[in-house]
């Protein structure tokens, strides 16, 4: 194996005090010479700081707000949010870890160079907010409480699952060990800092994985109000969760406020248009991705292509393994792979039915264990009544929905869409639309098998009612069009968005009318869904 002498030298230099600092000053670097880059915010920061100073409020009781993140692209986005709150007159601290990615180890030499570069970029921002680096060069080795050690282990396992896209993690795996060390180093520094500084509010992107997950869990454990946020498929929208993991997509309070309210016809039209776009592999409005690779061919053609006969069709739709929407989402199975394996085993003997397994097309973009391998490791040769649609196959999933008698899902949104089509859906994982009144939600294996058997034995008595189908449509509108809040900057197109809606606009009277409330939610203003829906209805009635 060829030795990478540059990496070896970086590791040696990293152990020598002040070498990175001397090198950075000697070279007078504008960037650290690694993949780590803050060039987008660096180019705009002088104007951003001028906008903060020109619009800065003086308030009687400013809040102590702490914004934390890791990874350079999140640093640019989260720092912009921190500057917004500085302009509102709050006492803001922006904390960061100067990593380029979460899955590769980095020498102390390069890490210190990246930290020096970050400090240089934000040196003028220190006039309006505190800047704190959590660079783990000399972490505290004071013993942590057992509960925090468990948090570190759990998040490190999520990190490895997410990165390797597998569900079973060997604790000797180098990636798991690296993530465990990195998360523990951060946790020790964060625990000491948070106890000393005691912010009133903490804002963290994601909050499920990496050091961001550690920070969220520790804040919860310490009972400090914490908000997590993320971005979905829609531009100009943000997901916000107060004292919850945002990737859990908690919609309990929203659905409680919405489920008894009628949908306006204009709202139904939006759902129909979006649903049609999803079915026909089209982009729609501000949604940024396609859900299918091929247009529909119809029931007769899909039966012919999959060699299906007149026996009932059970449609099992998988998630991408290791996706953050599947981490820790098990209910009665150990994980998603076990759910698929035991479901396939059940149907081996059910020759009176046809099981169609659709492996998620998103697997084309991943490198982890495929659900194709999970199925074939169990059944190298599939019986004639079990059919497997691979990620690269051109079959449109919605054609299969049209001929299905039952849908089986873990957490994929396809389960919601099957219910919208009137197909009884059995949900095996913890997903946001579980227990909303239009799915079947067993909580143990016996109930799961009994539910499948009952539908197959008497499909007429278990057909979805009109009210259930309407509820599914209403929930789809609620989730896709009401759950996310207006927001000026999406992570994926951050700087295109920012140039259209700079800080000066967001701080203006017009910008505040459009986005001010969403920012307030980030620092804990209660999200009153009843008021939001009432205001929306009044706006609709006015139009």
Rounded to a whole number, what is the distance in angstroms from the first to the last CA of the chain? 69
> Are 209 and 68 in the same domain?
yes
Q: Is residue 121 part of a domain?
A: yes
Q: What is the dihedral of CA 428, 430, 436, 440, to 10 degrees?
A: 10
Q: What is the pLDDT of residue 288?
A: 37
pLDDT at 328: 86
Same structural domain, 160 and 15: yes
| Together in a domain, 195 and 309 | no
Q: β-strand 406-409 against 386-389: which pairing, if any?
A: unpaired
Q: How many domains does the chain have?
A: 3
The tokens describing 119, both together, are 């400090």
pLDDT tens-place string over residues 38-52: 999 999 999 999 999
Q: Which residues of the chain have pLDDT under 70?
A: 1-33, 136-140, 280-297, 322-324, 363-369, 540-543
410 and 447 together in one domain = yes
What's 88's domain CATH number? 3.40.50
Per-residue confidence (pLDDT) for residue 364, from 0 to 100: 61
**What is residue 429's DSSP assignment?**
B
Quick count: other Cβ atoms within 10 Å of Cβ 45? 20
Examine the domain organization and report whether 332 and 402 are in the same domain.
Answer: yes
Domain co-membership, 329 together with 464: yes
Please report the pLDDT score of residue 283 as a whole number. 40
What does the alpha-carbon distance between residue 73 and residue 494 come to, in Å, rounded to a whole number? 9
Other beta carbons within 10 angstroms of residue 22's beta carbon come to 12
pLDDT in tens, 240-262: 999 999 999 999 999 999 999 99
- 308 & 166 share domain: no
The verdict on 223 and 263 lying in the same domain is no
- Containing domain of residue 129, as a range? 8-54+62-251
Looking at residue 535, its pLDDT comes to: 84
DSSP 315: E
């Amino acid at each position: 194996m060829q030795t990478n002498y540059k990496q070896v030298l970086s590791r040696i230099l990293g152990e020598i005090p002040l070498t990175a600092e001397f090198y950075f000053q000697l070279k007078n670097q504008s960037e650290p010479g690694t993949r780590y880059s803050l060039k987008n915010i660096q180019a705009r920061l002088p104007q951003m700081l001028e906008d903060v100073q020109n619009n800065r409020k003086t308030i009687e009781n400013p809040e102590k707000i702490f914004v934390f993140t890791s990874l350079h692209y999140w640093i640019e986005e989260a720092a912009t949010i921190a500057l917004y709150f500085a302009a509102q007159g709050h006492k803001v601290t922006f904390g960061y870890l100067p990593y380029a990615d979460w899955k590769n180890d980095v020498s102390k030499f390069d890490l210190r160079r990246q930290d020096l570069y970050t400090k240089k970029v934000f040196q003028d921002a220190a006039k309006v907010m505190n800047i704190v680096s959590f660079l783990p060069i000399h972490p505290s080795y004071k013993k942590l409480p057992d509960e925090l050690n468990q948090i570190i282990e759990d998040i490190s396992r999520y990190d490895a699952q997410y990165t390797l896209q597998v569900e079973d993690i060997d604790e000797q795996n180098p990636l798991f060990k690296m993530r465990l060390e990195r998360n523990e180093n951060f946790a020790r520094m964060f625990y000491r800092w948070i106890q000393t500084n005691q912010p009133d509010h903490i804002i963290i992107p994601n909050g499920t994985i990496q050091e961001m997950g550690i920070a969220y869990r520790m804040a919860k454990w310490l009972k400090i109000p914490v908000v997590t946020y993320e971005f979905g498929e829609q531009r100009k929208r943000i997901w916000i969760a107060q004292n919850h993991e945002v990737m859990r997509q908690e919609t309990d309070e929203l659905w409680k406020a919405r489920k008894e309210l009628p949908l306006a016809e204009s709202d139904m039209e939006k759902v129909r248009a979006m649903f049609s776009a999803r079915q026909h592999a089209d982009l729609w409005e501000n949604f940024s991705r396609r859900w299918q690779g091929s247009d529909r061919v119809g029931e007769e053609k899909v039966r012919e292509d999959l060699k299906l006969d007149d026996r009932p069709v059970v449609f099992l739709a998988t998630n991408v393994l290791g996706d953050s929407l599947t981490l820790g989402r098990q209910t009665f199975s150990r994980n998603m792979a076990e759910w698929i394996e035991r479901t396939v085993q059940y149907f081996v003997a059910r020759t009176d039915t046809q099981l169609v397994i659709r492996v998620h097309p998103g697997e084309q973009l991943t490198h982890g264990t495929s659900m194709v391998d999970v199925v074939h490791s169990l059944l190298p040769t599939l019986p004639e009544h079990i059919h497997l649609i691979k990620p690269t196959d051109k079959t449109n999933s919605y054609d299969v929905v049209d001929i299905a008698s039952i849908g089986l899902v873990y957490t994929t949104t396809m389960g919601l869409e099957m219910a919208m089509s009137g197909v009884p859906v059995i949900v095996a994982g913890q997903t946001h639309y579980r227990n909303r009144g239009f799915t079947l939600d067993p909580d143990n294996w016996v109930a799961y098998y009994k539910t499948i058997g009952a539908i197959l034995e008497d499909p007429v008595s278990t057909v979805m009612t009109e009210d259930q189908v309407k509820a599914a449509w209403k929930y789809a509108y609620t989730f896709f069009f009401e759950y996310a809040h207006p927001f000026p900057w999406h992570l994926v197109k951050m700087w295109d968005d920012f140039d259209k809606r700079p800080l000066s606009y967001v701080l203006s009277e017009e910008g505040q009318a459009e986005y001010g409330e969403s920012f307030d939610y980030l620092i804990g203003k209660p999200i009153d869904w009843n008021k939001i829906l009432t205001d929306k209805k009044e706006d609709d009635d006015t139009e």
